[in-house]
Chain A
Amino acid sequence: MALDSKVPKGPIKDKWTDYKNHIDLVNPANKRNIDIIVVGTGLAGGSAAATLAELGYNVKAFAYQDSPRRAHSIAAQGGINAAKNYQGDGDSTYRLFYDTVKGGDYRSREANVYRLAEVSANIIDQCVAQGVPFARDYGGLLDNRSFGGVLVSRTFYAKGQTGQQLLLGAYSALNRQIARGKIEMFNRHEMLDVVKVDGKARGIIARNLITGEIERHSAHAVVIASGGYGNVYFLSTNAMGSNATAAWKIHKKGAYFANPCYTQIHPTCIPRSGDYQSKLTLMSESLRNDGRIWVPKNMDDVLAIREGRKKPTELSEEERDYYLERRYPAFGNLVPRDVASRAAKERCDAGYGVNATGEAVYLDFKTAINRYGKEQAKISGITNPSEAKIYELGQALIEEKYGNLFQMYEKIVDENPYKTPMMIYPATHYTMGGVWVDYNLMTTVPGLYCIGEANFSDHGANRLGASALMQGLADGYFVLPYTIGNYLSNDIRTGKISTDTTEFDEAEKEVKNKIDFFINNNGSKSVDYFHKRLGKVMWDKVGMARTEEGLKEAMSEIKAIREEFWKEVKVPGTAAEMNPELEKAGRVADFLELGELFAKDALDRNESCGGHFREESVELDGEQKGEAKRNDKDYAYVSAWEYKGEPADAVLHKEELEFKDIELKQRSYK
């Protein structure tokens, strides 16, 4: 099947308006006869479900947690971008569009990104009207902060809990419709397959996670909003339950999966402390504004620190290697996420990691504390302040800016980051790849939509900070409600979809068979055992730096783990009860397939772009020597993979990317 992105004709700034003017609408009386299923109720799914219900459709929404308020969108800290230009610093729709395409290393679809930038301002207005308590300045107007990779201040925030507040906003809109009976909410339910009738998505099979009951649900269209697949690495900043099952099941039923190799590895996370580690915690990127990143210059000091013979504070300036400032004098500690992450890996691979696992670097606030302390002393009119006084004043200022993060660090690591430098290391954070969708956010299966992090569309090969919340809400509040109506306008005479058909019988049988297999397979190893092994292969060979040899090994190793999994996995308990191990087994089974496709995609893309770094594709000389080298001539396309049984047999379809409104440039941070 040829890929058609269905991008409307015309100048980029008019596309969305023209599109909206020409789509078919469904009249309110007919909307009452149309059902829509929404799987996942985070920012994207929650906002979509609420808006579709407001429009008059009957919505069935599904979440695996006990409440939509628990979706992992809630953990986003920093903020949400919007081209409001409240600061008068030159921001505009075009500039947000430009920054997002450039930040994505020129691997996203222009028309989608422009639309995202265009609706961004509406999101803020909508959320304010819902009662989201955004930060305000003393004049009572909305406050902004700046974020990495851009030159304007366009990020709106609610303390360090912006994701929480936006999700609770969408959740309140959802609750209003649940109360009115327009949304039927299925908490503690997991979608285990999509059902197609005559080639169209017409329903899902879901498991009630409390009773274990398998249920059939029909609808005229199905929307997948189940988030990203970062947990393929086992350790990530995702929630423990975050999974790719809904996205992977629809892939197996015909939806192409795009750019799985584009993963964001965030540079400032709290390092792993041991093999028991279950997840990693992110520290906001904003810390790099004031922190300096370093490792010791001499190996003797590294060993002394690891063995506890020396403290990092005892090392003089000359004994420290501020490697980001050394390698990237222009941007220093503020290089984009992918660059900062790779540089940390390079030092740790060379043996300079500063904790017991060898995977940690320092993030040091001493310079900033001193600088702020001196400033504060001057402002307060203190002449000849003592070192201790300067430190005290500086610390107070740092505490005002990052207090909650410092406290979180201290709770986890049990060290006072005001006195001794923080230890950080990169961790998987976000997946830019996902289910392929066209301009309508429809997958390659008619009537099957995919929104939010679960789709691939807007961030290219790298996502900028504060853009995930923007995309989730844009898709759910302002894009999907239009595009899905255009499709459903052809369904007004269809009538209720029956679940009593052979298509539902077969899908349900398949789901039940798999569950029975897990329960009856008398294996010897737990689900986590396999998940951890998969994660290790992914991290070592499909992580921050990838090679042809490593990727080929990863593919065969993942296949081997998968085969062993199906022989040896052990799931206690029964199918007809709450059974968290059974839930995990199904999810890990899907990760074991997705991981292999991920490696295959990374192998195909022999260029370095954004979060995808191939050691074979680096600049060989000049100022950029050793840096990532993108190859626009051969790889300016979206890789959309068609399922053919084994992940290794997946067939590649290319969507060529055209850049009409932006000139392609190599990124430089030297």
Chain B
Amino acid sequence: MNLTLKIWRQKGPQDKGQMVDYKVTDISEHMSFLEMMDVLNEQLINSGDEPVAFDHDCREGICGMCSMYINGEAHGPDRGVTTCQLHMRMFKDGDTITIEPFRAAAFPVIKDLVVDRMAFERIQQAGGYISINTSGNTQDGNAIPISKHAADEAMDAATCIGCGACVASCKNSSAMLFVGAKVSQYALLPQGQVEAADRVKNMVAQMDLEGFGNCTNTGACEIECPKGISLENIARMNREFLKANVKG
């Protein structure tokens, strides 16, 4: 198939940036979206132009590196996939595809489609851990039984890949699905109880400091999340936050 691509080009963080049109031809429906981008870049290199910079790594939907806002949706039109798992069979011959970076005040553009997601790192550093050293003398893994239900639910929350699609999809650029998922994973497990109050307070404080917006329950994040992280995690985070502040 032959396609027209409208791609955001921006030389660096200070550059204003603009949409630029490109044509690609003979694209196979079996290609992944990023393979289509490879074809474009090879074409640009061969014609002496600069290739489009975009983040990507594992190309199997688990590392969370790839981003891209495709035709107005984070990770494009398919459901339950990252951009690297999106295939060209989702598009038709002659289509025009708009490709932009994830946009949020807390995710400044570095170059073209590459954004800086260090805000997520700082939120994790504020409390996304259990304070335990490596010693080799930790108690036996079976010493505290954990119900299968709680373990499975914690796993569902922990499945977040930290890509930022939730932020990019939210009209308020809220990071509450991301933060809620981490808070929930530990809140659901006995190991996480000791520091639960401090954790939720510190992570939420950092989230606010980074300039992410608030949640107004639109639910776009849940729909666009490639890993199906549930809105329940935001509710759980709110309960944890309330509990932590009431107890003091």
CB of B3 closer than 8 Å to a CB of A: no
- Do residues B126 and A179 form an inter-chain contact, with CB atoms below 8 A? yes
CB of B218 closer than 8 Å to a CB of A: no
Q: For chain A residues 541-595, which have a beta carbon within 8 Å of chain B?
A: 570, 572-573, 577-578, 580-581
CB of A477 closer than 8 Å to a CB of B: yes
CB of B6 closer than 8 Å to a CB of A: no
Query: Could you tell me the distance between the alpha carbons of A570 and B189 in the complex, rounded to whole angstroms?
Result: 53
CB of A66 closer than 8 Å to a CB of B: yes
Kindly specify which of B43-51, B69-77, B209-217 makes contact with the partner chain: B43-51
Q: Shortest distance in angstroms between A281's beta carbon and chain B's nearest beta carbon?
A: 5
Query: Could you tell me the distance between the alpha carbons of A277 and B138 in the complex, rounded to whole angstroms?
Result: 45
- Do residues B30 and A273 form an inter-chain contact, with CB atoms below 8 A? yes
Known contacts A65-B65, A66-B116; is-contact A136 B146 (Cβ 8 Å): yes
Task: Fill in one digit per residue for A267-293: 1 if any B CB lies within 8 Å of its CB, else 0.
Answer: 000000110111101100000000000
Residue of B nearest to A130 (CB): B130
Give the residue among B49, B141, B147 with the most A Cβ atoms within 10 A.
B141
- Do residues B45 and A581 form an inter-chain contact, with CB atoms below 8 A? yes
Q: Which B residues touch A486, using CB under 8 A? A: none
Known contacts A54-B133, A66-B55, A126-B138; is-contact A411 B85 (Cβ 8 Å): yes
Query: Could you tell me the distance between the alpha carbons of A71 and B162 in the complex, rounded to whole angstroms?
Result: 13
CB of A124 closer than 8 Å to a CB of B: yes
Kindly specify which of A168-176, A382-390, A633-641 makes contact with the partner chain: A168-176
CB of A444 closer than 8 Å to a CB of B: no
Q: Which A residues touch B139, using CB under 8 A? A: 125, 129
Kindly specify which of B98-106, B150-158, B168-176 makes contact with the partner chain: B150-158
Query: Could you tell me the distance between the alpha carbons of A75 and B161 in the complex, rounded to whole angstroms?
Result: 11
Known contacts A276-B39, A578-B53; is-contact A281 B110 (Cβ 8 Å): no
Kindly specify which of A89-97, A138-146, A251-259, A332-340 makes contact with the partner chain: A138-146
Q: Which B residues touch A137, using CB under 8 A? A: 148
Q: Shortest distance in angstroms between A522's beta carbon and chain B's nearest beta carbon?
A: 10
Q: Shortest distance in angstroms between B147's beta carbon and chain A's nearest beta carbon?
A: 5
- Contact pick for A276, options B35, B58, B80, CB 8 Å: B35
Query: Could you tell me the distance between the alpha carbons of A199 and B87 in the complex, rounded to whole angstroms?
Result: 51
- Do residues B121 and A239 form an inter-chain contact, with CB atoms below 8 A? no
Q: Which A residues touch B89, using CB under 8 A? A: 414
Known contacts A51-B134, A74-B58, A165-B155; is-contact A526 B46 (Cβ 8 Å): yes
Residue of A nearest to B59 (CB): A279
- Do residues A67 and B117 form an inter-chain contact, with CB atoms below 8 A? yes
Q: Which B residues touch A281, using CB under 8 A? A: 59-60
Query: Could you tell me the distance between the alpha carbons of A124 and B87 in the complex, rounded to whole angstroms?
Result: 38
Q: For chain B residues 97-123, which have a beta carbon within 8 Å of chain A?
A: 110-111, 114, 116-118, 120-121
Residue of B nearest to A526 (CB): B45
Known contacts A122-B138, A140-B147, A240-B57; is-contact A70 B51 (Cβ 8 Å): no
- Do residues A414 and B49 form an inter-chain contact, with CB atoms below 8 A? no
CB of A133 closer than 8 Å to a CB of B: yes
- Do residues B148 and A130 form an inter-chain contact, with CB atoms below 8 A? no
- Do residues B125 and A134 form an inter-chain contact, with CB atoms below 8 A? no
**Per DSSP, are chain B's interface residues mostly helix, strand or loop, or mixed?**
loop
Q: Shortest distance in angstroms between B54's beta carbon and chain A's nearest beta carbon?
A: 8
- Contact pick for A74, options B62, B154, B192, CB 8 Å: B62
Q: Which B residues touch A171, using CB under 8 A? A: 124
Query: Could you tell me the distance between the alpha carbons of A131 and B183 in the complex, rounded to whole angstroms?
Result: 12
- Do residues A187 and B118 form an inter-chain contact, with CB atoms below 8 A? yes
- Contact pick for A577, options B12, B58, B192, CB 8 Å: B12
Interface size on A, residues (CB 8 A): 80
- Contact pick for B57, options A161, A241, A478, A570, CB 8 Å: A241
Task: Fill in one digit per residue for B28-42: 1 if any A CB lies within 8 Å of its CB, else 0.
Answer: 111110110011001
Residue of A nearest to B160 (CB): A168
- Contact pick for B185, options A133, A142, A239, A481, CB 8 Å: A133
Q: Which A residues touch B138, using CB under 8 A? A: 122, 125-126, 128-129
- Do residues B142 and A414 form an inter-chain contact, with CB atoms below 8 A? no
- Do residues A239 and B63 form an inter-chain contact, with CB atoms below 8 A? yes
- Contact pick for A129, options B120, B124, B130, CB 8 Å: B130
Query: Could you tell me the distance between the alpha carbons of A573 and B158 in the complex, rounded to whole angstroms?
Result: 39
Query: Could you tell me the distance between the alpha carbons of A237 and B128 in the complex, rounded to whole angstroms?
Result: 30
Q: Which A residues touch B120, using CB under 8 A? A: 67
Known contacts A129-B139, A133-B154; is-contact A187 B42 (Cβ 8 Å): no
- Contact pick for A133, options B49, B78, B151, CB 8 Å: B151
- Do residues A239 and B57 form an inter-chain contact, with CB atoms below 8 A? yes
Query: Could you tell me the distance between the alpha carbons of A278 and B161 in the complex, rounded to whole angstroms?
Result: 22
- Contact pick for A165, options B34, B53, B134, B158, CB 8 Å: B158
- Contact pick for B125, options A47, A74, A175, A187, CB 8 Å: A175
CB of A184 closer than 8 Å to a CB of B: no
Query: Could you tell me the distance between the alpha carbons of A425 and B62 in the complex, rounded to whole angstroms?
Result: 22
> Tally of A-B residue pairs with Cβ under 8 A?
213
Query: Could you tell me the distance between the alpha carbons of A407 and B60 in the complex, rounded to whole angstroms?
Result: 13
- Do residues A478 and B151 form an inter-chain contact, with CB atoms below 8 A? no
Q: Which A residues touch B246, using CB under 8 A? A: none
Task: Fill in one digit per residue for A111-154: 1 if any B CB lies within 8 Å of its CB, else 0.
Answer: 00000000100101111111101111111111000000000000
Q: Shortest distance in angstroms between A670's beta carbon and chain B's nearest beta carbon?
A: 35
- Do residues A274 and B134 form an inter-chain contact, with CB atoms below 8 A? no
Known contacts A176-B129, A276-B31; is-contact A161 B124 (Cβ 8 Å): no
Q: Which A residues touch B87, using CB under 8 A? A: 411-412, 414
Query: Could you tell me the distance between the alpha carbons of A161 and B129 in the complex, rounded to whole angstroms?
Result: 19
Q: Shortest distance in angstroms between B58's beta carbon and chain A's nearest beta carbon?
A: 4
- Do residues A131 and B186 form an inter-chain contact, with CB atoms below 8 A? yes
CB of B145 closer than 8 Å to a CB of A: yes
Q: Which A residues touch B155, using CB under 8 A? A: 133, 135, 158-159, 165
Q: Which B residues touch A215, using CB under 8 A? A: none
Q: Which A residues touch B128, using CB under 8 A? A: 172, 175
Query: Could you tell me the distance between the alpha carbons of A319 and B29 in the complex, rounded to whole angstroms?
Result: 32
- Do residues B126 and A572 form an inter-chain contact, with CB atoms below 8 A? no
CB of A164 closer than 8 Å to a CB of B: yes
CB of A374 closer than 8 Å to a CB of B: no
Q: Shortest distance in angstroms between A293's beta carbon and chain B's nearest beta carbon?
A: 22
Q: Shortest distance in angstroms between A354's beta carbon and chain B's nearest beta carbon?
A: 16
Residue of A nearest to B52 (CB): A580
Q: Which A residues touch B65, using CB under 8 A? A: 65-66, 70
CB of B236 closer than 8 Å to a CB of A: no
Q: Which A residues touch B62, using CB under 8 A? A: 74-75, 161, 164
CB of A629 closer than 8 Å to a CB of B: no
- Do residues B35 and A277 form an inter-chain contact, with CB atoms below 8 A? yes
CB of B180 closer than 8 Å to a CB of A: no
CB of B94 closer than 8 Å to a CB of A: no
Q: Shortest distance in angstroms between A660's beta carbon and chain B's nearest beta carbon?
A: 26
Q: Shortest distance in angstroms between B111's beta carbon and chain A's nearest beta carbon?
A: 5
Known contacts A126-B138, A165-B158, A175-B128; is-contact A572 B59 (Cβ 8 Å): no
- Chain B interfacial positions (CB closer than 8 Å to A): 11-12, 28-32, 34-35, 38-39, 42, 44-46, 48-51, 53, 55-65, 78, 80-81, 85, 87, 89, 110-111, 114, 116-118, 120-121, 124-126, 128-134, 136, 138-142, 145-148, 151-152, 154-155, 158-159, 161-162, 185-186, 189, 191-192
**A-B pairs with beta carbons under 8 Å apart, 13 shown:** A51-B134, A67-B121, A69-B63, A69-B64, A126-B136, A131-B191, A140-B146, A274-B28, A278-B35, A281-B60, A412-B87, A572-B49, A580-B51
- Chain A interfacial positions (CB closer than 8 Å to B): 47, 50-51, 54, 65-67, 69-72, 74-75, 84, 86, 119, 122, 124-131, 133-142, 158-159, 161, 164-165, 168, 171-173, 175-176, 178-179, 185, 187, 210, 237, 239-241, 273-274, 276-279, 281-282, 407-408, 411-412, 414, 477-478, 481, 526, 528, 570, 572-573, 577-578, 580-581
Extra 19 A-B pairs, beta carbons < 8 Å, given A131-B186, A239-B58: A70-B57, A74-B58, A124-B141, A126-B132, A130-B129, A131-B185, A136-B146, A140-B148, A141-B145, A172-B124, A173-B129, A176-B129, A179-B125, A185-B121, A239-B59, A281-B60, A526-B46, A578-B110, A580-B53
- Among all A-B residue pairs, the 9 with the closest Cβ atoms: A140-B145, A172-B129, A128-B141, A136-B151, A133-B155, A133-B154, A179-B125, A70-B63, A125-B138
